[in-house]
Amino acid sequence: MKVIRRDDRLWFSHRGERVQIEAWGKDALRIRATRYNWCSAENKALSEQILDRSADVKVSEDGLYGEISNGRLKVTVNENGVLRFYKDGVQFLQEYHRNYDFSASLHSICMKLEGRMYEPIVGGDYRATVRFEANDGERLYGMGTYQQPYLNLKGCTLELAQRNSQTSIPFVLSDAGYGFLWNHPGVGTATFGRNYTEWKAEQLKEIDYWITVGDTPKQIIENYTAVVGRAPVMSDDLLGLWQCKLRYRTQEEVLSVAREYHRRNIPLSVIVIDFFHWTRQGDWRFDPVYWPDPKAMCDELHSYGIRVAVSVWPSVDRKSENFEELYERGLLIRTEHGAAQTYDYQGDCVSIDVTNPEAQQFLWNKCMENYASYGIDMFWLDNCEPDYGVYDFRNFRYSIGTALEMTNVYPKMMAKTFYIGQKISGKNEICSLIRCGWVGSQKYGALLWSGDVNSTFESLKDQVIAGIEMGIAGIPWWNSDVGGFMTQDCYSDSFKELLVRWFEYAVFTPVLRMHGDRGPHDIPSLSDLDYGGGYLYTGHDNALWDYGEEVYEILLANLQTRLEMKPYLQKLYREASENGSPLIRAMFYEYPDDETCWEVEDQYMFGERYLVAPVLQAGALTRKVYVPQGVWREIHNGNVYEGGQWIEADAPLQYIPVLEKM
């Protein structure tokens, strides 16, 4: 064991392992460890320039002990290579160590378990495990979108991998006053157990994590987003209603819906053209049979003040006009075994490898030529996890490495492709609707949504949780499909109730967007061919007026509430860009000193002003709401409440409880 100081870094070697600790941002340190001779120069998620990396480093004369401090955070290492973490001199975290240790304050147990462990992969790198002692009673939050009803992640095991409706963003916030980023884009697991916390990677060259401290969640998230990036300010034109369905099959279908919104004098911010408007996957262009004049379509939509978004998938059908060139140039994701196929929905497909700059340029050039040049304003980057026919990450390889080591960064690279492409083409206000992301996706105008989720009240509760967790994980632009995506009978009374409750909730989320596959699938296709824009099924209509007059009047009234909030929404988006604050905020974000606010999981703050309590049960006409300190007014019925208590709030079908702080 030998601890030394190198510049402003603490460095030590221990049994063939090399560890480097350095200041990285405010009250923050970055820890890297490797079995190779040196740490890599890659910053991964830590993308922002940090000008001041000075730290206070102390090393004992015998080289068996060292410590490094940056502001309020200090890390020490003892003669066994065990790390301990201190905030203002008080220990809050310690590596898990069950091996020979002669320090009396540590466990001296001969289990041969250490805080950092490596399992060699024959012919390759390492599987690695990092463990920390669990803190009794600690509460943990963040990590992105997982379809589960738990806001406090203590006791949960989470897969570190991207899937449809799962977005893995490995940042966790603790009520002990720290934030922890697992700075590795590969597949693994995070386990927040009662006995220990464990981060596991299936393949890596170096362990890499970052940690910061603060007095409040707001301080911690500000420190975190300062090193991984923050969202730009969203365009004011996108703050109203977005209209979408599965799927508009023709140019005329899109225009007829837009014309009806215009006739009814209902402002529409965006209309979204969903998948299979194309000839084949990977052609990245409209089918001219059903979309004969995209420019004229865009011109008319723009005349109504509507922006136009179009779906882009990364999958490339072998029969696509672009497949051979992409394949020959090595711009597709590669398989390690078996057939060269990664995706099998409606075709034999391989996805483009957007980790490769050449592939990024190819994809953007096609979308510029075939979409943006006609006036398409925005892109819906669907299936961008990427969606695999089988999620066997051992079988896929990117230009930057294996899927096991790198796959989680793919959706971030997809967002970057369209952000940089549009920037170069002269566009300043950029927003891409996207199904997945990774740490820092917010930098590239990524508006995440929660994926293809079920149309149930249970799923609605999961989305409430997901929206809160995504904000903690650094992603302020987020939304969900109003009503859920998968519906068997969209005209049933039960679905109409769900749709209303979901819409009322979505009014108080960053983006309000109508979307879904509205069953039953009893609408004939437009073509007998097995390809092109006319052959695939479609769902039933999904505009505000398509569910009957009663539903229409409720949705319209709630949309008006949304439109009246536009100045407030503008303020929240500016704040997200300035300091990383999410729009959807856990109760404890605004009230960290209120113990109950750390426990409430089914309500949230929308910014600092509005307390939102979605209705999450069918048939419910009231619901319990916890009201924190202060005086609050319910915006719909005018009732006034003193804080610091639970109330039974009215929740007729026409609205959900929303309290404004007075």
On the question of pLDDT at 105 being above 80, the answer is no
Q: Give start-end residues of each CATH 2.60.40.1760 domain in the chain.
A: 2-228
On the question of pLDDT at 49 being above 50, the answer is yes
On the question of pLDDT at 334 being above 50, the answer is yes
Q: Which long-range contacts (CB under 8 A, 24 or more apart) does 114-117 make?
A: 114/81, 114/82, 115/81, 115/82, 115/83, 116/17, 116/19, 116/33, 116/81, 116/207
DSSP 8-state class, residue 539: P
- Would you state the pLDDT for residue 38? 86
Q: Which CATH code is given to the segment(s) 2-228?
A: 2.60.40.1760
Q: Please compute the mean of the pLDDT values over residues 309-331 and round it to a whole number.
A: 98
How far is Cα 542 from Cα 280, in angstroms, rounded to an integer? 25
- Would you state the pLDDT for residue 108? 55
Q: Give start-end residues of each CATH 3.20.20.80 domain in the chain.
A: 240-311+360-381+411-571
Q: Give start-end residues of each CATH 2.60.40.1180 domain in the chain.
A: 586-661
How far is Cα 176 from Cα 378, in angstroms, rounded to an integer? 41
On the question of pLDDT at 129 being above 90, the answer is yes
- At position 73, the amino acid (one-letter code) is L
- Would you state the pLDDT for residue 41? 86
How far is Cα 606 from Cα 82, in angstroms, rounded to an integer? 42
pLDDT one-digit tens code per residue, 451-467: 999 999 999 999 999 99
- Straight-line distance from the first to the last Cα atom of the chain, in angstroms, rounded to the nearest whole number: 60
The answer to whether the CB of 499 falls within 8 A of the CB of 551 is yes
Q: Please compute the mean of the pLDDT values over residues 618-640 and round it to a whole number.
A: 98
How far is Cα 480 from Cα 490, in angstroms, rounded to an integer? 17
Burial 219-246 (b: 16+ CB within 10 A, else e): bbbbbbbbbbbbbbebbeebbbbbbbbb
Which are the contacts of 372, defined by CB distance < 8 A and separation ≥ 6?
Answer: 422, 425
How far is Cα 174 from Cα 154, in angstroms, rounded to an integer? 10
Q: Which fold has domain 240-311+360-381+411-571?
A: TIM Barrel (3.20.20)
How far is Cα 543 from Cα 261, in angstroms, rounded to an integer? 9
> Of 269, 615, 645, 633, which is closest to residue 461 (Cα–Cα)?
615
Which are the contacts of 426, defined by CB distance < 8 A and separation ≥ 6?
Answer: none
**Secondary structure of residue 171 in the 3-state scheme:** strand
The answer to whether the CB of 414 falls within 8 A of the CB of 384 is yes
pLDDT one-digit tens code per residue, 169-211: 999 999 999 999 999 999 999 999 999 999 999 999 999 999 9
pLDDT one-digit tens code per residue, 208-263: 999 999 999 999 999 999 999 999 999 999 999 999 999 999 999 999 999 999 99
Please identify which residue in the block is written with the tokens 């109760």: 587
Which of these ranges, 49-53, 249-253, 473-477, 638-642, has the smallest mean pLDDT?
49-53
How far is Cα 77 from Cα 101, in angstroms, rounded to an integer? 13
How far is Cα 305 from Cα 189, in angstroms, rounded to an integer? 45
Superfamily of domain 586-661: Golgi alpha-mannosidase II (2.60.40.1180)
> pTM of this prediction?
0.97
Q: Please compute the mean of the pLDDT values over residues 336-344 and round it to a whole number.
A: 94
List active site positions. Answer: 382, 385, 452
| Phi (first) and psi of residue 551, to 5 degrees | -65, -45
- Average pLDDT of every residue of the chain: 96
What confidence category does residue 104 fall into, taking pLDDT thresholds of 50, 70 and 90?
very low
